[in-house]
Chain A
């Protein structure tokens, strides 16, 4: 599977500020995704990061709050804008395994632990 890295690994931010999280993959991948895992909860898909076009957001998530970039097939960023304490969460990027026979197996980066004060 691909090697996925995320920066930063953790951050503590003030209310009202924004944080950009980077996701880097060591090989080209067709599909990248951004998830959120709130304390004690499971994973919730925020959006699919599309290369060369606007991200596809899930219900409850909007571009103004979570702008996403995908400039190429190995890199994506997620920005958490105008943060509030409710945004405190772990943010994870994932990539979909490609090739014939793939069934949407997804592999996760190490995550970014965000705390908003």
Chain B
């Protein structure tokens, strides 16, 4: 089992809709969780992190964490064409290591 899994294929959403991305992780001892946005040809950019169960909101982004079920999700409200990118889930497994999922491509259709 991979450390961090993002299984959904490319996600197409109409402009203004909600994009929902999910991520599961295998290490129950994982302590903090991150969402990065990566535009084509660019390096990853940190957009959200969460370390407590529940929701964390920042502007149009909401991260949700459920440690019992070992999943973390990202919601993008009022999706904009500028949100079109690949979103990478990362998990801190201790010793400052970050393990990354393969990413989900989001395409926002005007």
Please determine whether B103 and A105 come into contact, CB atoms closer than 8 angstroms. no
Set of chain A residues within 8 Å of B88, measured between Cβ atoms: 42-43
Contacts known (A103-B92, A108-B43, A109-B43); A45 close to B98, Cβ less than 8 A: yes
> How would residues 47 to 76 of chain B score, 1 for a CB under 8 Å from any chain A CB and 0 otherwise?
001010000000000000000000000000
In this complex, how many residues of chain A approach chain B with their Cβ under 8 Å: the count is 22
Set of chain A residues within 8 Å of B25, measured between Cβ atoms: none
User: Which of B49, B101, B102 contacts A105 (CB under 8 A)?
Assistant: B49
The residue of chain B having its C-beta at the shortest distance from the C-beta of A44 within the complex is B100
Q: Select the residue from A41, A43, A45 with max chain B CB neighbours within 10 A.
A: A43
Please determine whether B100 and A104 come into contact, CB atoms closer than 8 angstroms. no
By a beta-carbon cutoff of 8 Å, the part of chain B in contact with chain A is 31-32, 34, 42-46, 49, 51, 88, 90, 92, 96-103
By a beta-carbon cutoff of 8 Å, the part of chain A in contact with chain B is 1, 31, 33, 41-45, 48, 58, 90, 92, 96, 103-111
